[in-house]
Structure 1
Amino acid sequence: MNIKNELLIGIIQEYIKNKEPIGSEVLKSRQNFEVSSATIRNYFKILEKEGALFQPHISSGRIPTNSTLHSYWKKILNVLVKENLHIDSKCIKSLSACYEIYCVTIPKTNNILHEVIDCGNGYLILKFSRNEAVINFSEALLRFLESFKNMDIQDIIKIANEVGAGELKRKLLALEQVDFEQTSLRYGSEFLKDILYKDVAKFNEIFQARVLLRYQNGIYFDKFLPNGYMAIIHDASYLDRHLCKNKQVRMMSIGSIHADFKSFYAELGFTNFA
């Protein structure tokens, strides 16, 4: 790595840690660079012209731009989204509060339709992997649902929406909501409220974890969040103390691009950063 890139990484790390503009003297002392403060200032000017840094005030230090932080986090956290992180559900609660990062998990396993039971009293029972729903009986609906056995509830909801099966869609959406409430873990909801206080619909979509059903594992900056924030979606597992076994989940972490995600995940036990 050349000196310019080393200085850029150094200023990013110091800014994320301290949340204040970084001057040449501060960067030199904290990062132990063996070049002069004047040399650092010259590189600062080059990086500023390249759009990697900006100076809030004439007499202040420099701050990394949003695009710089986007590139930094993509590089640092790229490995994380490809791995399965084992988390401590008690630890994540305190870390969420410490780093002001919202976290939510949902079961990784699908909720599959196993049986369609005609009760003979005007109702059908739909038995899924994790729960069941009761809907009004009709011959057409019974035949319709029989063809969806071994299909995930989300796929059935999409088809119900496409064909205009309104009651079925409403019942299954309500079932999914209950399922999320019972099987998901959420931490730091107050931080999500701060991010999306102007967009109630978007808040509900993320809070109810529906974003996790729509997006693959990865790092997202502007797909469903305001400018200046990021989401990381990846696989994880934790010990379910009631069942005494590991539970496989998908996890999403959301916070400011200035938040210290590296320290957050390091304290969760992930060390294989790029």
Structure 2
Amino acid sequence: MIKVEDKRELILKSIIETYLSDNTPIGSNELNSSLCIPASTIRVYLKKLSDEGLITQIHISSGRIPTILTMQNYWRNELDIDSELDIKNEIFLYHLLKEYKIYCLVYGGRDLVLKEIFNLNDKFIILDFEENEIVLKYNSQGFDFLKTLIGLNLFDLENIVLKVKFVELAQKISNLKQSLVYSKINEQRAYQIYQNDEFAKLLDCTVDRKFNKNLQFEPLFKKGFMGFKINAQFLGKSVNIIFAGSVYTDYNKVLKQIKEAA
């Protein structure tokens, strides 16, 4: 016999996964067929889940769908963003994200490490990242401070620079990161998320600063939308990727297809 709490979770999960798969509201008869729980029992749980604000009806005569809050909690527990992606075909990625209405920003910098800093005639400080460099106006305090940061990657360096309000270096890091944007896919979707000029923040890789957690909902995104950051290899380069779209998009299915195509 299925426990009461298990029935509740089973019914809720079935509604979520059915809606992600088919984008179709589900009723007690469909749940009865798939779960083998009496329809009368299911209707009791549907009422409870509705009262708790976890599911809702679009129309009085229609089945139920999960609420935005339910989907946010679902993705916090179920989204698979810990394993690194390996993307070898940009055209495949483009068509997949178009199909699922997902915006995507691909940018490098994860493998850039501050190797050394140099004082150039007390006029400039040069930060050496091997294949890239940043040039700053010289001052002795800045030079001494930066020497303590040798060995950090670009993103860790940026976090520290922002905390101490080292404005010139923060801007130079932003410029460097912008030069490392490798791909933007489905920019129209970025606009649809906001419906105003706020969408531009998703086109700039400085949006990375707002991802103190790799999964973000409001206030970074408008209600009903979300974004997440994941590590990847993109055409042989170490990158971060930010995906953004509706909370009702099946992101695990998308990630699975990307992994299977690798």
* Alpha-carbon distance between aligned partners in 1 of 2:158 and 2:44, rounded to the nearest angstrom: 55
Q: Does the aligned pair in 2 maintain the 1:113–1:148 contact within 8 Å?
A: no
1:24 to 2, 22, 28: 28
Counterpart for residue 93 of structure 2: 92
Aligned to 1:244: none
SS at match of 1:105: strand
Output the CA distance in 2 between the equivalents of 1:123 and 1:11. 61
Q: Could you tell me which residue of structure 2 aligns to residue 158 of structure 1?
A: 162
Q: Which residue of 2 aligns with 1:243?
A: none
Name the CA distance, whole Å, in 1 between partners of 2:129 and 2:253.
39
Q: Distance in 2 between matches of 1:67 and 1:238?
A: 33
Q: Quote the offset at 1:268 in angstroms.
A: 1.4
Calculate percent identity across the aligned residue pairs.
26
Q: Is the 8 A contact 2:117 2:146 kept in 1?
A: no
Listed one character per residue, the Cα deviations across residues 129-159 of structure 1 (whole Å, up to 9, x for unaligned) are 34234556x5xx3663364242545257537
Aligned to 2:203: 207
For residue 205 of structure 2, give the secondary structure of its aligned residue in structure 1: coil
Cα drift, residue 257 of structure 1: 0.3
Cα offsets for 1:87-130 (capped at 9, x unmatched): 3342322211111111223332235263436279x766554334
Amino acid of the structure 1 residue aligned with 2:18: E
Unaligned runs of 5+ in 1: 241-246
TM-score for the superposition, normalised by structure 1: 0.75
Pick from 217, 231, 235 the counterpart of residue 235 of structure 1: 231
How do 1:45-124 residues align onto structure 2 when only pairs under 5 Å count?
45-77=47-79, 80-90=80-90, 91-107=92-108, 108-112=110-114, 114-116=116-118, 118=120
Aligned to 2:18: 14
* Structure 2 CA distance for aligned equivalents of residues 217 and 172 of structure 1: 21
Residue 254 (1) aligns with residue 244 (2): yes
Distance 1:226 1:87, change over 3 A: same
Larger deviation, residues 81-90 vs 188-197: 81-90
Structure 2 residue matching 1:210: 3-state secondary structure = helix
Letter in 1 for 2:175: A
Deviation at 1:75, TM superposition (A): 1.9
For the residue of structure 2 that corresponds to 1:222, the secondary structure is coil
- 2:37 maps to a residue whose letter is V
Indicate conservation of the 8 Å contact 1:70/1:221, yes or no: yes
Aligned mate of 1:189, from 153, 167, 187: 187
Summarize deviations over 1:179-199 as a string: whole Å, max 9, x none: x33xx3322222112112324
State the alpha-carbon separation in 1 of the partners of residues 221 and 192 from structure 2.
12
Q: Specify whether residues 73 and 135 from structure 1 end up closer, same or farther in structure 2 by C-alpha distance, changes over 3 A only.
A: closer
Deviation of the 1:71 alpha carbon: 1.7
Q: 1:267 aligns with which of 244, 257, 260?
A: 257
Distance 2:36 2:177 in 1: 58
Query: What SS does the aligned partner of 2:35 have?
Result: coil
Q: In structure 2, how many angstroms separate the alpha carbons of the residues matched to 1:250 and 1:188? A: 17
- Residue 160 to residue 169, structure 1, CA distance change in 2 (3 Å): farther
Q: Describe the superposition over 1:14-46 as per-residue Cα deviations: whole angstroms up to 9, x where unpaired.
A: 2122323222234444xx232343333232112
Q: What is the aligned partner in structure 2 of residue 220 from structure 1?
A: 216
Inter-partner Cα distance in structure 2 for 1:170 and 1:211: 14
Deviates more, 1:229-238 or 1:93-102: 229-238
Aligned residues: 248
| Cα distance in 2, alignment partners of residues 155 and 216 from structure 1 | 10
